[in-house]
Chain A
Protein backbone atom coordinates (compact mmCIF):
# COMPACT_ATOMS: atom_id res chain seq x y z
CA UNK A 1 0.00 0.00 0.00
CA UNK A 2 1.18 3.46 -0.82
CA UNK A 3 1.75 5.81 2.08
CA UNK A 4 0.86 8.82 -0.15
CA UNK A 5 4.03 10.64 0.86
CA UNK A 6 4.55 12.67 -2.31
CA UNK A 7 2.20 14.97 -4.21
CA UNK A 8 4.72 15.10 -7.07
CA UNK A 9 7.61 12.67 -7.55
CA UNK A 10 10.26 14.29 -9.66
CA UNK A 11 14.04 14.16 -9.43
CA UNK A 12 16.00 17.41 -9.55
CA UNK A 13 19.77 16.88 -9.49
CA UNK A 14 21.94 19.30 -7.55
CA UNK A 15 25.52 20.39 -8.17
CA UNK A 16 28.20 17.72 -8.53
CA UNK A 17 29.70 18.26 -5.14
CA UNK A 18 29.02 20.00 -1.89
CA UNK A 19 28.30 19.11 1.73
CA UNK A 20 25.15 17.14 0.81
CA UNK A 21 26.49 15.41 -2.35
CA UNK A 22 24.92 11.98 -2.68
CA UNK A 23 22.07 12.82 -0.28
CA UNK A 24 18.42 12.74 -1.30
CA UNK A 25 16.04 15.40 0.02
CA UNK A 26 12.24 15.59 -0.04
CA UNK A 27 10.76 19.10 -0.13
CA UNK A 28 7.43 20.13 1.36
CA UNK A 29 4.99 21.22 -1.29
CA UNK A 30 4.64 24.82 -0.08
CA UNK A 31 8.29 25.57 -0.93
CA UNK A 32 8.68 26.91 -4.47
CA UNK A 33 10.60 24.78 -6.96
CA UNK A 34 11.24 26.26 -10.40
CA UNK A 35 9.47 24.20 -13.06
CA UNK A 36 8.08 21.67 -10.55
CA UNK A 37 4.50 22.18 -9.47
CA UNK A 38 3.96 23.42 -5.94
CA UNK A 39 0.43 22.75 -4.71
CA UNK A 40 0.47 23.56 -0.96
CA UNK A 41 -1.77 20.49 -0.67
CA UNK A 42 -4.59 22.56 -2.18
CA UNK A 43 -6.89 22.18 -5.18
CA UNK A 44 -6.39 25.94 -5.55
CA UNK A 45 -2.78 25.36 -6.67
CA UNK A 46 -3.13 21.92 -8.27
CA UNK A 47 -1.56 23.14 -11.51
CA UNK A 48 0.64 25.96 -10.20
CA UNK A 49 4.25 25.76 -11.45
CA UNK A 50 6.55 28.35 -9.85
CA UNK A 51 8.81 30.29 -12.22
CA UNK A 52 11.53 30.53 -9.57
CA UNK A 53 13.21 28.58 -6.75
CA UNK A 54 12.86 29.38 -3.06
CA UNK A 55 16.18 30.44 -1.54
CA UNK A 56 16.33 27.21 0.49
CA UNK A 57 15.92 25.20 -2.72
CA UNK A 58 18.74 27.14 -4.41
CA UNK A 59 20.90 26.36 -1.40
CA UNK A 60 19.95 22.67 -1.50
CA UNK A 61 20.93 22.41 -5.16
CA UNK A 62 24.22 24.22 -4.52
CA UNK A 63 24.95 21.79 -1.66
CA UNK A 64 24.93 18.83 -4.07
CA UNK A 65 21.69 17.31 -2.76
CA UNK A 66 19.23 15.59 -5.10
CA UNK A 67 15.58 16.56 -4.66
CA UNK A 68 13.35 13.49 -4.99
CA UNK A 69 9.89 15.05 -4.82
CA UNK A 70 7.38 17.41 -3.27
CA UNK A 71 5.74 16.09 -0.15
CA UNK A 72 2.13 15.97 0.95
CA UNK A 73 0.93 18.39 3.62
CA UNK A 74 -2.14 19.79 5.30
CA UNK A 75 -3.69 22.33 2.94
CA UNK A 76 -1.57 25.52 3.16
CA UNK A 77 -0.08 24.08 6.37
CA UNK A 78 -3.40 24.29 8.19
CA UNK A 79 -3.63 21.12 10.22
CA UNK A 80 -1.62 18.75 12.37
CA UNK A 81 -2.35 15.40 10.73
CA UNK A 82 -1.85 15.85 6.93
CA UNK A 83 -5.52 14.89 6.54
CA UNK A 84 -6.67 18.30 5.25
CA UNK A 85 -4.63 17.80 2.05
CA UNK A 86 -6.67 17.95 -1.16
CA UNK A 87 -4.56 14.97 -2.29
CA UNK A 88 -5.67 12.65 0.51
CA UNK A 89 -3.99 11.78 3.81
CA UNK A 90 -0.47 10.44 4.23
CA UNK A 91 -0.08 7.32 6.36
CA UNK A 92 2.39 7.01 9.22
CA UNK A 93 5.19 4.60 8.14
CA UNK A 94 5.49 3.36 11.75
CA UNK A 95 1.81 2.35 11.88
CA UNK A 96 -0.22 2.75 8.70
CA UNK A 97 -3.51 3.05 10.57
CA UNK A 98 -2.29 6.31 12.10
CA UNK A 99 -1.61 9.85 10.92
CA UNK A 100 2.00 10.97 10.39
CA UNK A 101 1.27 14.29 12.07
CA UNK A 102 1.41 17.53 10.22
CA UNK A 103 1.40 19.77 8.56
CA UNK A 104 4.76 18.54 7.15
CA UNK A 105 3.52 14.93 7.36
CA UNK A 106 4.81 13.88 3.95
CA UNK A 107 8.30 15.21 4.73
CA UNK A 108 8.61 13.37 8.06
CA UNK A 109 7.11 10.20 6.57
CA UNK A 110 9.58 10.37 3.65
CA UNK A 111 12.52 10.26 6.07
CA UNK A 112 10.92 7.65 8.36
CA UNK A 113 10.11 5.38 5.39
CA UNK A 114 13.57 5.78 3.82
CA UNK A 115 12.15 7.52 0.72
CA UNK A 116 14.64 10.35 1.30
CA UNK A 117 17.73 10.84 3.50
CA UNK A 118 16.53 14.28 4.58
CA UNK A 119 13.54 16.56 4.14
CA UNK A 120 12.48 20.17 4.37
CA UNK A 121 9.30 21.06 6.21
CA UNK A 122 7.89 24.34 7.44
CA UNK A 123 6.87 25.12 11.00
CA UNK A 124 4.25 27.79 11.78
CA UNK A 125 2.97 26.31 15.05
CA UNK A 126 4.72 22.95 15.22
CA UNK A 127 4.43 21.64 11.67
CA UNK A 128 8.00 20.28 11.57
CA UNK A 129 8.23 19.05 15.18
CA UNK A 130 4.77 17.42 15.33
CA UNK A 131 5.27 15.01 12.38
CA UNK A 132 8.90 14.40 13.41
CA UNK A 133 7.60 13.25 16.81
CA UNK A 134 4.78 11.11 15.38
CA UNK A 135 7.05 9.43 12.79
CA UNK A 136 10.04 8.90 15.12
CA UNK A 137 12.50 11.20 13.34
CA UNK A 138 14.27 14.50 14.17
CA UNK A 139 12.86 17.91 13.20
CA UNK A 140 14.16 21.42 13.84
CA UNK A 141 12.23 24.70 13.96
CA UNK A 142 14.91 27.40 13.65
CA UNK A 143 14.86 30.80 15.36
CA UNK A 144 12.73 33.24 13.37
CA UNK A 145 15.11 34.92 10.93
CA UNK A 146 17.73 32.16 10.77
CA UNK A 147 16.42 30.71 7.48
CA UNK A 148 15.08 32.61 4.47
CA UNK A 149 11.35 32.43 3.77
CA UNK A 150 11.75 33.70 0.20
CA UNK A 151 9.74 31.34 -2.00
CA UNK A 152 7.85 29.80 0.91
CA UNK A 153 4.15 30.20 0.10
CA UNK A 154 2.92 32.37 2.98
CA UNK A 155 0.42 31.23 5.59
CA UNK A 156 1.35 33.25 8.75
CA UNK A 157 4.51 35.26 8.05
CA UNK A 158 5.34 36.35 11.58
CA UNK A 159 5.41 32.74 12.85
CA UNK A 160 6.76 30.47 10.14
CA UNK A 161 10.21 29.11 9.38
CA UNK A 162 11.54 26.44 7.03
CA UNK A 163 13.06 23.60 9.05
CA UNK A 164 15.08 20.41 8.41
CA UNK A 165 14.05 16.81 9.14
CA UNK A 166 16.51 13.88 9.37
CA UNK A 167 16.93 10.43 10.92
CA UNK A 168 19.48 11.75 13.39
CA UNK A 169 20.16 15.08 15.10
CA UNK A 170 23.44 15.39 13.22
CA UNK A 171 21.74 14.81 9.84
CA UNK A 172 19.07 17.43 10.52
CA UNK A 173 21.72 19.85 11.81
CA UNK A 174 23.83 19.37 8.67
CA UNK A 175 20.81 20.36 6.58
CA UNK A 176 20.32 23.42 8.81
CA UNK A 177 23.94 24.37 8.08
CA UNK A 178 23.05 24.39 4.37
CA UNK A 179 19.76 26.32 4.46
CA UNK A 180 20.48 28.94 7.15
CA UNK A 181 21.93 32.35 6.47
CA UNK A 182 21.11 35.89 5.47
CA UNK A 183 19.14 36.47 2.27
CA UNK A 184 18.74 39.90 0.77
CA UNK A 185 15.35 38.78 -0.57
CA UNK A 186 13.99 38.18 2.96
CA UNK A 187 14.55 41.17 5.25
CA UNK A 188 13.59 39.09 8.30
CA UNK A 189 16.85 37.16 7.97
CA UNK A 190 18.37 40.26 9.53
CA UNK A 191 19.99 41.23 6.25
CA UNK A 192 20.77 44.87 6.55
CA UNK A 193 22.96 46.70 4.08
CA UNK A 194 24.24 48.91 6.86
CA UNK A 195 25.42 45.85 8.79
CA UNK A 196 27.96 43.34 7.63
CA UNK A 197 26.54 40.13 6.17
CA UNK A 198 28.70 38.10 8.53
CA UNK A 199 26.67 39.50 11.41
CA UNK A 200 24.04 36.85 10.64
CA UNK A 201 24.00 34.17 13.40
CA UNK A 202 24.46 31.35 10.87
CA UNK A 203 27.90 32.75 10.00
CA UNK A 204 30.47 31.10 12.18
CA UNK A 205 28.01 28.45 13.35
CA UNK A 206 28.53 24.73 12.75
CA UNK A 207 25.29 23.03 13.69
CA UNK A 208 26.33 19.50 12.67
CA UNK A 209 29.49 19.73 14.80
CA UNK A 210 27.37 20.76 17.78
CA UNK A 211 25.78 17.28 17.82
CA UNK A 212 28.54 15.96 20.07
CA UNK A 213 26.30 14.51 22.80
CA UNK A 214 28.01 16.43 25.60
CA UNK A 215 25.50 17.68 28.19
CA UNK A 216 27.81 17.61 31.21
CA UNK A 217 27.00 20.73 33.27
CA UNK A 218 24.11 21.83 31.06
CA UNK A 219 20.91 22.90 32.82
CA UNK A 220 17.68 21.49 31.39
CA UNK A 221 14.45 23.19 32.53
CA UNK A 222 11.33 21.02 32.40
CA UNK A 223 8.23 23.15 31.67
CA UNK A 224 5.85 21.62 34.19
CA UNK A 225 2.79 23.49 32.83
CA UNK A 226 2.99 21.43 29.63
CA UNK A 227 3.06 18.04 31.36
CA UNK A 228 -0.31 18.48 33.04
CA UNK A 229 -2.56 17.91 30.03
CA UNK A 230 -0.44 15.21 28.40
CA UNK A 231 -1.17 11.49 27.99
CA UNK A 232 0.37 9.46 30.86
CA UNK A 233 2.24 7.17 28.46
CA UNK A 234 3.81 10.23 26.80
CA UNK A 235 4.81 11.75 30.16
CA UNK A 236 6.37 8.46 31.30
CA UNK A 237 8.51 8.17 28.16
CA UNK A 238 9.44 11.87 28.39
CA UNK A 239 10.51 11.57 32.03
CA UNK A 240 12.66 8.52 31.29
CA UNK A 241 14.48 10.48 28.57
CA UNK A 242 15.02 13.44 30.93
CA UNK A 243 16.39 11.09 33.63
CA UNK A 244 18.81 9.76 31.06
CA UNK A 245 20.08 13.31 30.41
CA UNK A 246 20.55 13.72 34.16
CA UNK A 247 22.57 10.49 34.22
CA UNK A 248 24.79 12.00 31.52
CA UNK A 249 25.65 14.96 33.73
CA UNK A 250 22.90 17.48 32.98
CA UNK A 251 21.23 19.40 35.81
CA UNK A 252 17.46 19.17 35.62
CA UNK A 253 15.23 21.87 37.12
CA UNK A 254 11.49 22.57 36.97
CA UNK A 255 10.27 25.81 35.43
CA UNK A 256 6.76 27.21 35.13
CA UNK A 257 5.48 29.76 32.60
CA UNK A 258 2.10 31.12 33.63
CA UNK A 259 1.46 32.76 30.25
CA UNK A 260 1.45 29.45 28.38
CA UNK A 261 -2.19 28.72 29.21
CA UNK A 262 -3.01 31.44 26.66
CA UNK A 263 -0.58 30.28 23.98
CA UNK A 264 -2.97 28.22 21.85
CA UNK A 265 -5.58 31.00 21.90
CA UNK A 266 -3.04 33.66 20.95
CA UNK A 267 -1.45 31.46 18.31
CA UNK A 268 -4.70 30.69 16.51
CA UNK A 269 -5.94 34.29 16.57
CA UNK A 270 -2.65 35.54 15.11
CA UNK A 271 -2.20 32.70 12.60
CA UNK A 272 -5.79 32.94 11.35
CA UNK A 273 -5.61 36.73 11.09
CA UNK A 274 -2.43 36.57 9.05
CA UNK A 275 -3.88 33.74 6.94
CA UNK A 276 -7.02 35.71 6.11
CA UNK A 277 -4.83 38.46 4.70
CA UNK A 278 -2.24 36.23 2.99
CA UNK A 279 -4.77 34.00 1.25
CA UNK A 280 -6.64 36.98 -0.21
CA UNK A 281 -4.21 36.67 -3.12
CA UNK A 282 -5.99 33.59 -4.47
CA UNK A 283 -8.30 35.38 -6.88
CA UNK A 284 -8.15 32.90 -9.78
CA UNK A 285 -6.65 35.57 -12.06
CA UNK A 286 -2.87 35.69 -11.64
CA UNK A 287 -2.35 32.02 -10.75
CA UNK A 288 -4.22 29.14 -9.26
CA UNK A 289 -7.61 27.64 -9.95
CA UNK A 290 -9.78 29.34 -12.52
CA UNK A 291 -13.42 28.24 -12.56
CA UNK A 292 -13.99 29.72 -16.01
CA UNK A 293 -17.26 31.22 -14.77
CA UNK A 294 -18.63 34.48 -16.13
CA UNK A 295 -19.76 37.32 -13.92
CA UNK A 296 -18.37 40.29 -12.04
CA UNK A 297 -15.10 40.28 -10.13
CA UNK A 298 -16.47 39.72 -6.63
CA UNK A 299 -18.79 36.87 -7.64
CA UNK A 300 -16.14 35.01 -9.63
CA UNK A 301 -13.58 35.61 -6.86
CA UNK A 302 -15.89 34.16 -4.19
CA UNK A 303 -16.82 31.18 -6.43
CA UNK A 304 -13.15 30.41 -7.12
CA UNK A 305 -12.44 30.35 -3.40
CA UNK A 306 -15.45 28.19 -2.59
CA UNK A 307 -14.24 25.60 -5.09
CA UNK A 308 -10.48 25.88 -4.49
CA UNK A 309 -10.26 25.86 -0.69
CA UNK A 310 -11.04 22.98 1.67
CA UNK A 311 -13.06 23.29 4.89
CA UNK A 312 -10.17 23.98 7.30
CA UNK A 313 -8.75 26.74 5.10
CA UNK A 314 -12.19 28.38 4.82
CA UNK A 315 -12.62 28.07 8.58
CA UNK A 316 -9.35 29.86 9.27
CA UNK A 317 -9.87 32.58 6.67
CA UNK A 318 -13.30 33.33 8.12
CA UNK A 319 -12.20 33.28 11.75
CA UNK A 320 -9.22 35.49 10.88
CA UNK A 321 -11.46 37.92 9.04
CA UNK A 322 -13.76 37.94 12.07
CA UNK A 323 -10.89 38.55 14.53
CA UNK A 324 -9.70 41.53 12.49
CA UNK A 325 -13.13 42.99 11.78
CA UNK A 326 -14.45 46.23 13.26
CA UNK A 327 -15.48 45.79 16.87
CA UNK A 328 -13.47 42.58 17.43
CA UNK A 329 -9.92 43.64 16.61
CA UNK A 330 -9.12 44.87 20.13
CA UNK A 331 -10.85 41.92 21.78
CA UNK A 332 -9.02 39.22 19.84
CA UNK A 333 -6.06 40.40 17.75
CA UNK A 334 -4.71 43.02 20.15
CA UNK A 335 -5.08 40.72 23.18
CA UNK A 336 -3.33 37.95 21.25
CA UNK A 337 -0.40 40.30 20.65
CA UNK A 338 -0.31 41.06 24.38
CA UNK A 339 -0.25 37.34 25.12
CA UNK A 340 2.58 36.90 22.61
CA UNK A 341 4.66 39.59 24.36
CA UNK A 342 3.90 38.02 27.75
CA UNK A 343 5.00 34.58 26.55
CA UNK A 344 8.28 36.07 25.24
CA UNK A 345 8.94 37.64 28.65
CA UNK A 346 8.20 34.37 30.43
CA UNK A 347 10.67 32.53 28.18
CA UNK A 348 13.33 35.18 28.86
CA UNK A 349 12.89 34.57 32.58
CA UNK A 350 13.01 30.78 32.13
CA UNK A 351 16.29 31.06 30.21
CA UNK A 352 17.79 32.84 33.21
CA UNK A 353 17.35 29.52 35.04
CA UNK A 354 18.11 26.96 32.33
CA UNK A 355 20.20 26.58 29.16
CA UNK A 356 17.50 24.66 27.32
CA UNK A 357 13.85 23.89 28.10
CA UNK A 358 12.21 20.47 27.70
CA UNK A 359 8.66 19.28 27.05
CA UNK A 360 7.05 16.35 25.30
CA UNK A 361 6.76 17.49 21.65
CA UNK A 362 3.15 16.31 21.41
CA UNK A 363 0.85 15.72 24.39
CA UNK A 364 -0.65 12.64 22.71
CA UNK A 365 0.36 9.57 20.71
CA UNK A 366 -0.30 9.70 16.93
CA UNK A 367 -4.11 9.60 16.39
CA UNK A 368 -5.80 7.02 14.15
CA UNK A 369 -6.54 8.21 10.61
CA UNK A 370 -9.93 9.95 10.49
CA UNK A 371 -10.18 10.20 14.27
CA UNK A 372 -9.59 13.91 14.79
CA UNK A 373 -11.07 15.77 11.83
CA UNK A 374 -14.59 16.33 13.11
CA UNK A 375 -13.69 18.60 16.04
CA UNK A 376 -11.39 21.46 14.98
CA UNK A 377 -10.96 22.85 18.49
CA UNK A 378 -9.66 19.50 19.83
CA UNK A 379 -7.16 19.46 16.98
CA UNK A 380 -5.97 22.99 17.86
CA UNK A 381 -5.40 21.95 21.49
CA UNK A 382 -3.00 19.23 20.31
CA UNK A 383 -0.57 22.09 19.49
CA UNK A 384 -0.25 23.27 23.11
CA UNK A 385 3.45 22.36 23.45
CA UNK A 386 4.67 23.55 20.06
CA UNK A 387 2.97 26.93 19.44
CA UNK A 388 4.64 28.84 22.33
CA UNK A 389 7.97 28.48 20.52
CA UNK A 390 6.70 30.17 17.36
CA UNK A 391 5.05 32.97 19.34
CA UNK A 392 8.38 33.65 21.07
CA UNK A 393 10.42 33.34 17.79
CA UNK A 394 12.63 30.68 19.45
CA UNK A 395 14.37 27.57 18.09
CA UNK A 396 13.22 24.08 19.06
CA UNK A 397 13.98 20.50 18.09
CA UNK A 398 12.01 17.28 18.38
CA UNK A 399 14.11 14.17 18.96
CA UNK A 400 12.82 10.61 19.50
CA UNK A 401 12.52 9.92 23.25
CA UNK A 402 11.42 6.31 22.96
CA UNK A 403 8.18 4.46 22.31
CA UNK A 404 4.90 3.96 24.13
CA UNK A 405 2.60 1.14 23.01
CA UNK A 406 4.90 0.71 20.01
CA UNK A 407 4.38 4.34 18.90
CA UNK A 408 7.05 7.05 18.79
CA UNK A 409 7.20 9.77 21.45
CA UNK A 410 9.10 12.99 20.76
CA UNK A 411 11.07 15.08 23.25
CA UNK A 412 11.10 18.80 22.49
CA UNK A 413 14.09 20.92 23.48
CA UNK A 414 13.72 24.69 23.21
CA UNK A 415 16.76 26.94 22.95
CA UNK A 416 17.25 30.66 23.51
CA UNK A 417 17.10 32.97 20.49
CA UNK A 418 19.75 31.85 17.96
CA UNK A 419 20.90 29.23 20.50
CA UNK A 420 20.61 26.38 17.99
CA UNK A 421 24.02 24.91 18.82
CA UNK A 422 23.24 24.41 22.53
CA UNK A 423 19.85 22.94 21.68
CA UNK A 424 21.36 20.56 19.10
CA UNK A 425 24.06 19.49 21.57
CA UNK A 426 21.43 18.60 24.17
CA UNK A 427 19.26 16.79 21.60
CA UNK A 428 22.18 14.67 20.44
CA UNK A 429 22.62 13.45 24.03
CA UNK A 430 19.02 12.14 23.96
CA UNK A 431 20.19 9.78 21.19
CA UNK A 432 23.02 8.37 23.36
Chain B
Protein backbone atom coordinates (compact mmCIF):
# COMPACT_ATOMS: atom_id res chain seq x y z
CA UNK B 1 0.00 0.00 0.00
CA UNK B 2 1.25 3.47 -0.79
CA UNK B 3 2.56 5.59 2.04
CA UNK B 4 0.85 8.54 0.38
CA UNK B 5 -2.79 7.47 0.46
CA UNK B 6 -5.09 9.43 -1.78
CA UNK B 7 -8.70 9.99 -0.82
CA UNK B 8 -11.52 11.93 -2.40
CA UNK B 9 -10.65 15.00 -0.35
CA UNK B 10 -7.09 15.01 -1.70
CA UNK B 11 -8.36 14.66 -5.30
CA UNK B 12 -10.70 17.63 -4.80
CA UNK B 13 -7.84 19.69 -3.38
CA UNK B 14 -5.52 18.94 -6.30
CA UNK B 15 -8.35 19.56 -8.79
CA UNK B 16 -8.82 22.98 -7.22
CA UNK B 17 -5.10 23.75 -7.46
CA UNK B 18 -5.15 22.69 -11.13
CA UNK B 19 -8.40 24.60 -11.82
CA UNK B 20 -10.25 21.59 -13.21
CA UNK B 21 -13.78 20.99 -11.96
CA UNK B 22 -14.72 17.33 -11.48
CA UNK B 23 -18.07 15.69 -10.90
CA UNK B 24 -18.47 13.37 -7.93
CA UNK B 25 -18.17 10.16 -9.99
CA UNK B 26 -14.86 11.38 -11.40
CA UNK B 27 -13.58 12.23 -7.92
CA UNK B 28 -14.28 8.70 -6.71
CA UNK B 29 -12.83 7.05 -9.82
CA UNK B 30 -9.67 9.19 -9.71
CA UNK B 31 -9.13 8.50 -5.99
CA UNK B 32 -9.03 4.75 -6.68
CA UNK B 33 -6.86 5.07 -9.80
CA UNK B 34 -4.46 7.57 -8.20
CA UNK B 35 -3.86 5.22 -5.27
CA UNK B 36 -2.75 2.49 -7.72
CA UNK B 37 -0.63 4.81 -9.85
CA UNK B 38 1.08 6.58 -6.93
CA UNK B 39 1.75 3.24 -5.30
CA UNK B 40 3.60 2.28 -8.49
CA UNK B 41 5.48 5.63 -8.57
CA UNK B 42 6.64 5.03 -4.98
CA UNK B 43 9.25 2.60 -6.33
CA UNK B 44 11.22 5.72 -7.32
CA UNK B 45 12.33 5.72 -3.68
CA UNK B 46 14.83 2.99 -4.65
CA UNK B 47 16.56 5.21 -7.20
CA UNK B 48 20.01 6.27 -5.98
CA UNK B 49 21.01 9.89 -6.02
CA UNK B 50 22.83 10.50 -9.27
CA UNK B 51 25.60 13.00 -9.84
CA UNK B 52 25.09 14.13 -13.38
CA UNK B 53 26.48 17.06 -15.26
CA UNK B 54 23.49 18.93 -16.64
CA UNK B 55 23.87 18.96 -20.42
CA UNK B 56 22.02 22.24 -20.59
CA UNK B 57 23.59 25.41 -21.94
CA UNK B 58 22.14 28.86 -22.34
CA UNK B 59 21.30 29.60 -25.94
CA UNK B 60 21.00 33.31 -26.59
CA UNK B 61 19.86 35.33 -29.56
CA UNK B 62 20.26 38.99 -30.21
CA UNK B 63 17.43 41.25 -29.07
CA UNK B 64 16.25 42.50 -32.43
CA UNK B 65 12.81 43.45 -33.69
CA UNK B 66 11.47 40.72 -36.00
CA UNK B 67 8.27 39.99 -37.86
CA UNK B 68 5.67 38.37 -35.68
CA UNK B 69 1.90 37.92 -35.50
CA UNK B 70 0.02 41.20 -35.63
CA UNK B 71 -2.61 42.06 -33.05
CA UNK B 72 -5.60 40.95 -35.13
CA UNK B 73 -3.99 37.57 -35.91
CA UNK B 74 -3.22 37.06 -32.22
CA UNK B 75 -6.89 37.74 -31.39
CA UNK B 76 -8.36 35.52 -34.15
CA UNK B 77 -9.06 32.62 -31.82
CA UNK B 78 -10.26 34.61 -28.83
CA UNK B 79 -13.94 34.33 -27.92
CA UNK B 80 -14.08 37.96 -26.88
CA UNK B 81 -11.89 41.01 -27.45
CA UNK B 82 -12.10 44.74 -26.74
CA UNK B 83 -9.94 47.54 -28.16
CA UNK B 84 -7.39 45.04 -29.40
CA UNK B 85 -7.12 43.20 -26.08
CA UNK B 86 -8.28 39.78 -24.94
CA UNK B 87 -11.41 40.05 -22.83
CA UNK B 88 -11.86 37.53 -20.02
CA UNK B 89 -14.11 37.07 -17.01
CA UNK B 90 -13.73 39.39 -14.05
CA UNK B 91 -10.89 38.48 -11.73
CA UNK B 92 -12.74 38.97 -8.45
Contact = CB atoms under 8 A, between A and B. Distances in A.
Range for the number of chain B residues in contact with chain A: 35 or more
B90 A317 contact: no
Given A309-B20, A318-B14, A322-B14, A286 B77 contact: yes
A191 B62 CA distance: 12
Interface string A22-51: 000000000000000000000000011101
Contacts of B92: 296-297
24 contacts: A47-B77, A49-B77, A51-B73, A184-B61, A187-B59, A193-B61, A262-B46, A280-B19, A285-B80, A286-B77, A296-B89, A297-B91, A298-B19, A303-B21, A306-B22, A315-B30, A321-B18, A322-B34, A325-B14, A335-B47, A338-B50, A339-B50, A344-B52, A345-B50
B44 A336 contact: yes
A318 B86 CA distance: 27
Looking at A269, A284, A311, A322, the one whose CB has the most chain B CB atoms below 10 A away is A322
B8 interface: no
A318 B18 contact: yes
Range for the number of chain A residues in contact with chain B: 35 or more
Contacts of A268: 37, 41
A52 B69 contact: yes
A166 B28 CA distance: 43
Interface of A: 47-49, 51-52, 184, 187-188, 190-194, 259, 261-262, 265-266, 268-269, 276, 280, 283-288, 290, 292, 294-303, 305-306, 309, 311, 314-315, 317-319, 321-323, 325, 328, 331-332, 335-336, 338-339, 341-342, 344-345, 376-377, 380
A275 to B, nearest CB: 10
B84 interface: no
Given A286-B77, A296-B90, A377-B40, 17 more contacts: A187-B61, A262-B43, A268-B37, A285-B87, A295-B89, A297-B88, A298-B19, A314-B20, A315-B30, A318-B18, A319-B38, A322-B14, A331-B44, A335-B47, A339-B44, A342-B50, A377-B36
A190 B59 contact: yes
